Amino acid sequence: MTNATSIPVLALDGPSGSGKGTIARAVADRLGWHMLDSGAIYRAVGHAAGVRDVDLSDAETMARLAAETRIEFLDPGDGGDARVFVDGVDATDAIRTETAGAAASAIAALPAVRKALLDKQLAFRKSPGLVADGRDMGTVVFPDAPFKVFLTASPAERAERRYKQLKAKGLDVTLTSLLHEIEVRDARDASRAVAPLRPAGDAVVIDTTGQPIPAVVAQVLAVVRKARS
C-alpha cells in the first residue's frame, strides 16, 4: 500500500481574488494531479447548515454537521469545473452564492469545524499527486507538502477581478464597496486565532498583480520542478 505522505502535494494558499482557483486547476491539469478546492468544502458545510437551519455560531452542532455532511466532487468529464454534491444533492451553484460564502467564512473561524474537516481534506491525497487550494494547506492541513506556494495580489486588483466576475453574472456591485469588503475580510482572515491566513515559512510567495494567468502557471510549475530537481 502507498504511504499517503509519500504522495506529493502542492499547497497553494492565498486570499480570495489572488487567482488561486484558476491557477490550481491549470497546474493540476498540467501535472495530471488531483485537485482539492478546500474553500468548496467550507462552503458546502455552510450551505448544509442553511438547508438544516442550524445556528452558525453553535460550534458543537456545526462541528457534528461538518463531520457528517457528505461532500462529493464529480468531474463533469468535459474539462469544466467539478460539480459539488452535498448529501447527494447537486449544490454546485448554491455553494457559490454570497450567502454560502458568508456562512463558510463564519464557520471557518470555529476550531471544532476546522478539526472536523481535516480528515475529509487529507483523503484527497491520492496518487500521483494533489494540488490543494486554500488558506491553510501549507501551514495546517499538509505541513509536510514538498511544494508550497502563496499567491497574493494587491487589494485593488483583487477587487477589480471580483468586480468583473460579479458584473459578468449580472450583479449590481461597485468597485469601492468590493475593495472595502476585501480589506475587511483580509484583516479578519489574517487575525483569526485559528489557522490565520499567512504564508507557510517555507512557501514561495508569488505576487500575481498585473500578471496574466499563463505567466503565473509557469512560475508555479517552476517551483515544483525546482524542488524536484
Q: Which residues bind ligand DC (CB under 6 A)?
A: 16, 38-39, 42-43, 101, 104-105, 108, 134-136
Q: How far is the CB of 16 from ligand DC (least distance, A)?
A: 5
**Residue 6 and residue 220: Cα distance in Å, rounded?**
21
**Of 196 and 222, which CB lies nearer to ligand DC in the complex structure?**
196
Q: How far is the CB of 1 from ligand DC (least distance, A)?
A: 27
Q: How far is the CB of 197 from ligand DC (least distance, A)?
A: 8
Task: Locate 55 and state its grid cell.
Answer: 445556528
DSSP β-bridge partners for residue 72? 85
Nearer to ligand DC, 190 or 222 (CB): 190
Instruction: Name the residue nearer to ligand DC (CB basis): 131 or 228.
Output: 131
Instruction: CB nearer to ligand DC: give 118 or 222.
Output: 118
How many other C-beta atoms lie within 10 A of the C-beta of residue 13?
28
Compute the chain's Rg from CA coordinates.
Answer: 17
- CB of 225 vs ligand DC, minimal distance in Å: 25
- The SS3 call for residue 139 is helix
For the chain, the residue count is 229
CA 166 to chain centre: 19
Given the complex with ligand DC, which of 16 and 152 has the nearer CB atom?
16
Q: Which residues contact 141 (CB under 8 A, 6 or more apart)?
A: 11, 38, 118, 121, 122, 132, 134
Q: How far is the CB of 163 from ligand DC (least distance, A)?
A: 16
CB atoms within 10 A of CB 7: 16
Residue showing the smallest CB distance to ligand DC in the complex: 39
